[in-house]
Amino acid sequence: MTGSADDTRRTPGQLAGLLIDTSTEAIGAVGGYAGGVYLRSGTPGLLRLAALAGLPGPLFRPWWRMHVDRPFPVADSYRLGVQVVLPNATETMRRYPQFAAGLPFQFGSLYVPVVAGSTVFGVLTVLRPPAADAAELVQQRDRMVRLAEELGTALLRLEDPGARASIAWDGEPVCVRPPGAQPPTGRAGGFAWDPVTDVVTADERLPALLGVPAEECGSCVEALARAVAPADPQRVLAALRETAMGRPPPLPLFVGAEDGVPRLVELWSPYGPGGRSGAHAVRGFVIEPGPGAAGDAAADLLPEGVLCVDRLGMVLYANPRAGQLLRRPRDRLLGRSLWESVPWLNQPAFEDHLRSALLSPAAVRFHIGRPAAEGDGERAGADADDGPWLDVSVYPGPSLLTCTFRPATRVADAAADLAPAPRESATASSAGVPSMAPLYRPIVLAIALTEAVTARQVSAVVMRELLPAFGGRRLAIYLLQDRHLYLAWENGFPSGFLAPFEGVGLDARLPGVETLTSGRPLFFDSMEQLAAAYPGIALDAKEGARAFLPLIASGRPVGSCILGFDGPRSFSTEERTVLTALAGLIAHAMEKAQRYESEAALARGLQQALLPRRLSAHPLVDTTGRYLPGTQGMEVGGDWYDVVEAGDGLALVIGDVQGHGVQAAATMGQLRSAVRAFALGDRPPDEVLSGTNHLLIDLDPGQFASCCYIRLDPASGLARAARAGHPPPLLRRPDGHTEVVHLPGGVVLGVDPQAQYPVAELWIEPGAVLALYTDGLVERPGVDIDEGIQALRVALARAGAPAARPGRRPLAGVADRLTAAARHTTDRPDDIALLLATRRVTPSHRG
């Protein structure tokens, strides 16, 4: 990456040029065929694809937006600040099944966060051919890391120090072919233009391609424009000047030479300024993709249709038969994107296979239905025996895709791939709004729903996965209880608008009720339609479309789902079908969530009954405990803590039963009772753990548990400790020095009946704080547990010595500070237990 942003003012074109240059350099650095940059956006928690090199943007629209909480590699890289290396499709499916389901093709990918200082700007990503394992990609990953660091430094220079998050992207991605990756078989020439000096520098190939003397190409920009497009120089000149101001055209220009031969003009600009005026230097290629550039001229005579498109989807060559079979004249194909020139190709049977050809090296063959209507007046002489189906083959190459089309004469041979033939009018659900139904894979939502276990989590998945795919902005989910509907989730509606509908009965004449009682989805293209169907109904906006979907699982009513759109729109037949089917998935997930929440309530009650209501007290020792249930999964687990009188001392106990749910809570209760019984008999720590280990093995619940048991003599401060697979305690000394107490330990309880648990001794001074905890307090996704333990050690050191507060025990403030971050975390994957103990400082100690 070259150039500097020092002493310059950032422009959108400058930012785009920087991102494009980095993306294309990353592609070359790792041997990839596509790359891009995701940047943070103006919406908190939302990343947007800002630059995409080597792939057609419209074909990958579902991945333009990415919430940072989605289980996708881009989101993990950004949220956790880690590099993600997926060498092949197998590893991708293992680690990110939802992402793999959306793009089930054979490719590898790398993701590196773009960071400068403490600022995370986004993620640099590259798609490449699959590798055997991640070890093959170590060098490529290191090259990407260097590029991401350079990009982060450049973005930090462009960041406005007076604005919060001034580097952000809220528009559509800039999609380009990597500079220098023009079709290798065509005639091409390159040039550079300095807008400050008006000097044009052309390579030796350009004059020959344009058929002019070399001096005419380099005399000035006007001469260059006339040489490139004699019939339309102003168009080229305007594009050059726009590019110099940082606004390059999103796709190459298609122009005609004097003899009618088509030419492509591709322009881009580096992100650095071209001179004192702030204009950018411009680079470009002129490509002449005649028949020889895309295939032999004999292809014009073939009885099958032949079409060549570049990696951005632009048609570079089409033989006459392709025009006939696609029902478009050749001049409506050349120089245009495939989906612009043949809109009815926007259907799953074509787009999914086209993505496959772009992302993997294997050729694909499939069948596609043509529109039944032929009244557009543009059909280029299709043969009378051409049926409604086409047999399509796509052959991928490094720069071009070659597509062949033949009439499908045997429908039976195509049965696996056939889909209903599209209507020309069904390519968009409303004016200017492309239908997303062909691009949305129901399996993506299904996989996401398998990870959601509560009604809130199910609703959040629908909000995150389904609504953006169809362009919706508002969502409400109602669940049925005692023949009334209650709001489980809402987003985007005006504050208080839904309150009057809370708890409505099934006899109310409301669309959200009637869609459930009738089992039929209801679609309204506008608010006028909704008001006409339900006179007097309260409306939350003057404009907008609404979809009301019944949530029915296995014939049982669960509730209803409302999707809201900001503006009027129509719903195609395909969209209605897909949304109705997806409502069934949501209903099953909600039904499962309701069963789960009933079981979770039972488990929580059981656990609360098993945890100690109060801890055993001693005049010389102060103790306090905290328990936080997890907010993911069963929300209840097997963590416990206890303080038990042991002779003239105290037993400090903490443990963690594997797993979650009623079984884990029940096992925890049995172990707690066993440990208490052994402690009350003042048995040595090793005997306590050995006896508990044998009990757990005899119970055979199919679970194991970790435990730490410390017997403290309050008078002397001597502590004897044993550990069974549990994280080590922490000790904060009176002078503030805090350390990890590395006790020898044995294996977890419930595994080995011969396990030994060695005992270690330590001395706890008056005023020192001993901290016992479970792994939920120190474990973080993608972070080694030792780092979490060290972070807790630092937090305990900073928490200060326990000081008494009016009405509170001395250790309470320390415990609250250590668990503050966890209490405010909405997604705790595990439950947390914490036990603190300190020897009180008495007058004799002070003396």
Name residue 292's amino acid.
G
The ranges of the chain with pLDDT < 50 are 1-10, 180-186, 271-277, 291-298, 374-385, 410-439, 634, 804-808
DSSP code of 464? I
Q: How far is CA 576 from CA 106, 369, 382, 793, 795, in A?
A: 31, 20, 33, 56, 54
Show the CA angle centred on residue 254, arms to residues 251 and 255, nearest 5°. 145
- Alpha-carbon 655 to chain mean position: 35
Q: What are phi and psi of 838, to 5 degrees?
A: -145, 145
Q: What is the DSSP string of 28-43?
A: HHHT-SEEEEEEE-SS
Both tokens assigned to 259: 């003899």
- Give the rounded distance of the alpha carbon of 141 from its chain centre: 20
pLDDT at 546: 94
Alpha helices in 376-526 (DSSP H): 442-450, 455-461, 467-469, 511-518
pLDDT value at residue 575: 79
Spatial CA neighbour of 167 closest among 182, 180, 152, 177 = 152
* CA 803 – CA 243 distance, rounded (Å): 66
pLDDT of residue 278: 56
Q: Which pLDDT belongs to residue 292?
A: 46
pLDDT of residue 187: 62
Closest C-alpha among 76, 56, 74, 54 to residue 65: 74
Which pLDDT does position 442 carry in this prediction?
A: 64
Stated pTM of the model: 0.55
Of 544, 565, 557, give the one whose Cα is nearest residue 587.
557
Quickly count: other Cβ atoms within 10 Å of residue 183's Cβ: 22
CA 118, CA 106: separation in Å to the nearest integer?
35
- Concatenating the DSSP letter of every residue in 159-223 gives S-TTSTT-S---SPPEEEPPTT-S-TTSEEEEEEEETTTTEEEE-THHHHHHTS-HHHHHS-HHH
Res 501: pLDDT: 92
d(CA 58, CA 343): 12
Look up residue 510 and give its two tokens: 């409301």
Q: Mention every residue, 6+ apart, whose C-beta is less than 8 A from residue 109.
A: 73, 86, 92, 125, 126, 127, 128
Question: What is the pLDDT, as a whole number, of residue 109?
Answer: 95
Q: How many CB atoms lie within 10 A of CB 569?
A: 24
Distance between CA atoms of 51 and 174, rounded to whole angstroms? 5
